[in-house]
């Protein structure tokens, strides 16, 4: 049996909501008064479960509650969950940036967290000087950095500019340099947060490759990401956090599957429940329903290849809305955006005025989606400044079949390249 | 598997107040050195006069004081040439006030880094103490030049064996600035009001220290107020050592030492407590 290198017991974290300012001194004094009488912190009892879609009655929220798990040596654990599920809080506690409210974390070996690349870069110093500074901030000693300096510069791919102040760098170069330093850290436990979201494809591949080699060398990695394909690719086990609690932990493909299927119950009725997780909403309007229909008005979740479809939405405006625009985003189930559809007349984007009350909106799509699984995200925002009113992510799923629609032909191949088949005209001379 | 495992690190909700992670700071000494270098090198990058500013600041201040307090207000300087008198006070005072103001925003100014990486937070204020010590060294050299010049030209200056205490006085001044700085930085994470008080407060404190006037000029009735200021006896001893004027009193110096130690311990304890939770309130 492999040795346990990270053990988390009954870990919880409470955050205070709202403005700090008035009231905090009185809360502090009150807390202190309870403490000297040997009683429990009175504000902890009030805390709500971390569910952002419901307005809680309390100013205090459990960002994490009763987390228990173990990680064995050499394991690569993926952590997934929606925004606000507590992933970042967990990382911050593990990397000692903030302390837990209750519970304990036990760690064996050196732990390093990579929550950002290039932390502490100083604009006026050269790339080389910043390698030393950044490396030291991440916990390397000077000798370690000197030993690996050539490797780091080589890995960053910006050897030519290494003696130029970093303020002259492009943001891409800065990220490369930062990751190059981080990649040469050699802790027993490495925590990585979404750093892969930046940089071009070549660079991302390089990062994934580096992380794979880290885990192959027997070190432990905790990887937090929204990028499900990267998690699938890298992690042997996966943890799904929901509302600050562990929803599921186990083999990666199983956990990802149940994470995705969570949203599928919308599909049965088309109703978006009031407690459905919303990425962002300002409370001026809510999407209440979404269904996808074929041209005969049947509700469907499967399309034939080349089949046209309609997205039907029901929106409840809480107040009169002026100059707003609804957008429908189609993406892959692994989170890759595919297309962004908005209301347009000719070349002009159209803003609509919606009165208070319920509206039904239908958008007809003539897009030829290539076979595969797609997820729908809907949003409404102001046309003028783009500020979001309501945004509901991954709310509906469809799969596109290889069998052709009506008299159109089937999709003939096993491999599918890309997501959309555009209208093209071909000329041979 | 053993029932009892040896863990290298256990993260718990509350820090024990007596554990100040001094060993950990030693492990990060390279970072401390790099921070000092960064502060020192980056300070005057893209300025025309560069390191010359290190000299200009105290000289211009000393000249201003000479004009205003010496020539216009006619405040005596214990018979010492005015420029030298003011410069001696300013050199030491600047070290204290620079350390204090710069450490007092440790948490707010570094929230960005602190939110992403863990290292002993104390490294940052410590690096300020050292980088300001370097700056102070440069300014001290300037003071010595002026002092030697007057030493040869006039017989009003009487250096004495108290000079041996000078390194101790400088360290004490730095630690005092650090002590105030870390206390303020810990409290400003929650109560931002203090930030406004710092600049203003340091300025007021300067006038409560014998820099623009000699302690001997203070009426006996109010002398205890000035002496309650822990920087007073440090500055007075410094002046006594180099110039042979002012008061040198072991008791007063002991008061400053005890004051510094107590405040430094309080500061470290508060800082240690705040460093674990400030990310939630900053």
Q: Considering just the CA atoms, what is the radius of gyration of chain B in Å?
A: 21
Residue B153: HSE in the Cβ half-sphere, 13 Å Cα cutoff: 9
Closest-CA distance of chain B to residue A43, Å: 15
Domain with CATH 3.40.50.300 in chain A: 70-259
Q: Are B84 and B211 contacting, i.e. CB atoms less than 8 angstroms apart? A: no
Is the pLDDT assigned to residue A27 strictly greater than 50?
yes
Query: What torsion, rounded to 10 degrees, do the Cα atoms A186, A191, A195, A197 define?
Result: 130
Helix (H, G, I), strand (E, B) or coil at A171: helix
Report the range of poorest mean pLDDT among A33-42, B48-57, B222-231: A33-42
Q: What is the CATH number of domain A70-259?
A: 3.40.50.300
Helix (H, G, I), strand (E, B) or coil at A207: helix
Contact state of B117 with A115 under an 8 Å Cβ cutoff: yes
pLDDT value of residue A302: 85
Closest-CA distance of chain B to residue A42, Å: 17
Nearest CB neighbour to A104, from listed B1, B10, B46: B10
Nearest CB neighbour to B8, from listed A107, A124, A136: A107
pLDDT value of residue A266: 66
* Distances, alpha carbon A378 to alpha carbons A266, A288, A302, B13, B122, in Å: 13, 11, 19, 41, 47
Query: Would you call B193 an interface residue with chain A, using a CB distance cutoff of 8 Å?
Result: no
Residues 85..114 of B with a Cβ closer than 8 Å to A: which?
112-114
Least CA distance to B6: which residue of chain A? Answer: A108
Contact state of A113 with B117 under an 8 Å Cβ cutoff: yes
pLDDT value of residue A46: 55
Q: Are A113 and A137 contacting, i.e. CB atoms less than 8 angstroms apart? A: no
Contact state of A105 with B10 under an 8 Å Cβ cutoff: yes
**Rounded (5°) CA angle B116-B121-B126:** 135
Give which of A9, A11, A20 to mutate to test B binding, by max B Cβ within 10 Å. Answer: A20
Is the pLDDT assigned to residue A20 strictly greater than 60?
no
Q: Are B148 and B155 contacting, i.e. CB atoms less than 8 angstroms apart? A: no
Contact state of A93 with B11 under an 8 Å Cβ cutoff: yes
Positive or negative torsion for Cα A153, A159, A161, A163? positive
Contact state of B14 with A99 under an 8 Å Cβ cutoff: yes
Q: What are the backbone angles phi and psi of residue B118, rounded to the nearest 5°?
A: -95, 130
SS3 labels along chain B: CCCCCCCCEEECCCCCCCCCCHHHHHHCHHHHHHHHHHHHHHHCCCCCCCCHHHHHHHHHHHHHHHHHHHHHCCCCCCCCCHHHHHHHHHHHHHHHHHHHHHHCCHHHHCHHHHCCCCCCCCHHHHHHHHHHHHHHHHHHHHHHHHHHHHHHHCCCCCCCHHHHHHHHHHHHHHHHHHHHHHHHHHHHCCCCHHHHHHHHHHHHHHHCCCCCCCHHHCCHHHHHHHHHCHHHHHHHHHHHHHHCCCCCCHHHHHHHHHHHHHHHHHHHHHHHHHCCCHHHCC
Cα separation of A105 and A37, whole Å?
28
**Residue-wise pLDDT tens digits, B232-274:** 999 999 999 999 888 888 999 999 999 999 999 999 988 888 8
Least CA distance to A6: which residue of chain B? Answer: B7
Query: Which range is most confident: A95-99, A129-133, B185-189, B256-260?
Result: B256-260
Domain with CATH 2.70.50.60 in chain A: 270-404
Helix (H, G, I), strand (E, B) or coil at A212: helix
Residues of B in contact with A70 (CB under 8 A): none
Contact state of A96 with B118 under an 8 Å Cβ cutoff: yes
Query: What torsion, rounded to 10 degrees, do the Cα atoms B180, B186, B187, B192 define?
Result: 110
pLDDT value of residue A54: 47
Is the pLDDT assigned to residue B93 strictly greater than 90?
yes
**Residue-wise pLDDT tens digits, A158-182:** 888 999 988 898 888 888 888 888 8
Report the range of poorest mean pLDDT among A284-298, B6-20, B52-66, B134-148: B6-20
Give which of B13, B43, B47, B279 to mutate to test A binding, by max A Cβ within 10 Å. Answer: B13
Question: Domain-by-domain residue ranges, chain B?
Answer: 22-280
Is the pLDDT assigned to residue B278 strictly greater than 80?
no
Choose the CATH number for A270-404 among 2.70.50.60, 3.30.70.890, 3.30.2270.10, 2.40.30.20. Answer: 2.70.50.60
Query: Would you call B50 an interface residue with chain A, using a CB distance cutoff of 8 Å?
Result: no
Nearest CB neighbour to A97, from listed B42, B115, B190: B115
What count of CB pairs under 8 Å joins A to B?
107
* A378 confidence band (pLDDT: 50, 70, 90): very high
Q: State mean pLDDT over B101-128.
A: 88
pLDDT value of residue A426: 94
Contact state of B5 with A4 under an 8 Å Cβ cutoff: yes
Query: Would you call B155 an interface residue with chain A, using a CB distance cutoff of 8 Å?
Result: no
Positive or negative torsion for Cα B207, B211, B213, B215? positive
Cα separation of B113 and A121, whole Å?
9
pLDDT value of residue A1: 55
Q: State mean pLDDT over A266-279.
A: 73
What is this structure's pTM? 0.72
Nearest CB neighbour to B30, from listed A100, A120, A141: A141
Residue that wins the pLDDT comparison between B102 and A256 = B102
Nearest CB neighbour to B31, from listed A98, A108, A137: A137
Contact state of B11 with A100 under an 8 Å Cβ cutoff: yes
pLDDT value of residue A58: 58
Is the pLDDT assigned to residue A264 strictly greater than 80?
no
**Rounded (5°) CA angle B237-B239-B244:** 100
pLDDT value of residue A131: 93
Report the range of poorest mean pLDDT among A316-325, A399-408, B227-236: A399-408
Least CA distance to B116: which residue of chain A? Answer: A115
Contact state of A103 with B13 under an 8 Å Cβ cutoff: yes
User: For residue A253, what is the enclosing H or E element?
Assistant: helix A252-261
Q: State mean pLDDT over A297-317.
A: 89
pLDDT value of residue A53: 47
**Residue-wise pLDDT tens digits, B130-188:** 999 999 999 999 999 999 999 888 787 888 988 999 999 999 999 999 999 999 988 88
Buried b (16+ CB within 10 A) or exposed e, A278-312: bbebeebbbbbbbbbbbeeeeeeeebbbbbebebb
Tokens 């086990």 correspond to A237
Residues of A in contact with B276 (CB under 8 A): 98-99
Q: Which of B65, B126, B121 is nearest to B93 (CA)?
A: B65
Q: What is the ipTM of this complex?
A: 0.82
Residues of A in contact with B279 (CB under 8 A): 92, 97-98
Least CA distance to B24: which residue of chain A? Answer: A139
* A24 confidence band (pLDDT: 50, 70, 90): low
pLDDT value of residue A124: 85
């Amino acid at each position: 049996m492999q040795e346990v290198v990270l053990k988390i017991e009954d870990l919880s974290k409470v955050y205070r909501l709202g403005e700090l300012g008035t009231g905090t001194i009185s809360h502090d004094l009150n807390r202190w008064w309870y403490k000297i009488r040997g009683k429990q912190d009175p504000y902890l009892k009030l805390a709500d479960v971390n569910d952002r879609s419901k307005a809680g009655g309390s100013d205090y929220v459990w960002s994490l509650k009763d987390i228990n798990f173990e990680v064995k040596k050499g394991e690569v654990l993926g952590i997934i969950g929606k925004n606000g599920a507590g992933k970042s809080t967990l990382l911050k506690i593990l990397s000692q940036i903030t302390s837990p409210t209750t519970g304990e974390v036990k760690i064996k070996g050196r732990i390093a967290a990579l929550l950002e690349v290039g932390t502490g870069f100083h604009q006026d110093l050269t790339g080389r000087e910043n390698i030393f500074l950044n490396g030291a901030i991440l916990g390397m000693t000077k000798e370690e950095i000197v030993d690996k300096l050539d490797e780091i510069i080589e890995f960053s791919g910006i050897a030519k500019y290494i003696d130029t102040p970093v303020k002259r760098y492009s943001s891409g170069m800065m990220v490369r340099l930062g990751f190059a330093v981080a990649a040469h850290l050699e802790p027993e436990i490495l925590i990585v947060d979404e750093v892969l979201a930046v940089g071009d494809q070549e660079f991302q591949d390089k990062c994934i490759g580096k992380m794979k080699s880290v885990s192959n060398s027997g070190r432990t990695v905790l990887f937090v990401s929204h990028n499900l394909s990267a998690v699938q690719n890298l992690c042997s086990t996966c943890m799904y956090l929901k509302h600050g609690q562990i929803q599921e932990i186990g083999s990666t493909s199983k956990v990802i599957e149940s994470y995705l299927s969570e949203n599928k119950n919308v599909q049965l009725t088309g109703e978006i429940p009031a407690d459905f997780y919303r990425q962002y909403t300002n409370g001026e309007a809510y999407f209440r329903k979404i269904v996808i229909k074929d041209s005969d008005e049947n509700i469907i979740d499967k399309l034939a290849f080349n089949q046209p479809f309609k997205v039907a939405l029901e929106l409840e405006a809480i107040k009169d809305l002026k100059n707003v625009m609804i957008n429908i985003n189609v993406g892959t189930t692994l989170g890759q955006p595919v297309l962004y559809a908005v209301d347009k007349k000719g070349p002009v984007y159209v803003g609509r005025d919606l009165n208070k009350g319920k509206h039904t909106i239908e958008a007809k799509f003539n897009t030829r989606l290539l076979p595969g699984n797609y997820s729908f995200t809907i949003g409404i925002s102001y046309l003028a400044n783009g500020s979001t009113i309501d945004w509901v992510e991954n709310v509906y799923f469809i799969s596109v079949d290889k069998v052709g629609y009506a008299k159109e032909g089937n999709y003939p191949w096993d491999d599918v390249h890309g997501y959309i088949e555009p209208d093209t005209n071909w000329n041979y001379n | 598997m053993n029932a009892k495992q040896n863990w290298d690190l256990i993260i718990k909700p509350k820090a024990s107040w007596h554990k100040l992670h001094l060993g950990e700071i030693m492990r990060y000494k390279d970072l401390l050195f790099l921070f000092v270098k960064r502060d020192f090198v980056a300070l005057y990058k893209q300025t025309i006069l560069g390191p010359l500013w290190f000299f200009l600041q105290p000289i211009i201040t000393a000249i201003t004081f000479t004009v205003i307090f010496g020539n216009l207000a006619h405040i005596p300087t214990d018979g010492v040439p005015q420029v030298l008198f003011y410069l001696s006070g300013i050199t030491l005072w600047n070290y204290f006030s620079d350390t204090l103001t710069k450490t007092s925003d440790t948490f707010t100014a570094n929230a960005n880094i602190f939110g992403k990486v863990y290292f002993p937070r104390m490294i940052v204020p410590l690096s300020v103490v050292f980088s300001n010590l370097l700056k102070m060294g440069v300014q001290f050299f300037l003071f010595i030049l002026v002092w030697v010049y007057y030493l040869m030209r006039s017989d009003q200056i009487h250096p004495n064996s108290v000079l041996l205490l000078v390194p101790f006085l400088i360290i004490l001044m730095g630690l005092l600035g650090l002590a105030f700085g870390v206390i303020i930085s810990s409290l400003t994470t929650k109560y931002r009001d203090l930030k406004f008080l710092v600049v203003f407060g340091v300025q007021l404190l300067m006038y409560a220290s014998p820099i623009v006037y000699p302690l001997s000029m203070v009426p006996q009735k109010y002398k205890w107020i000035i002496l309650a200021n822990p920087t007073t006896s440090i500055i007075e001893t410094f002046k006594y050592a180099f110039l042979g004027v002012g008061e040198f009193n072991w008791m007063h110096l002991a008061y400053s030492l005890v004051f510094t130690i107590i405040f430094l311990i309080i500061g470290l304890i508060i800082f240690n407590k705040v460093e674990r939770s400030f990310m939630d309130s900053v």
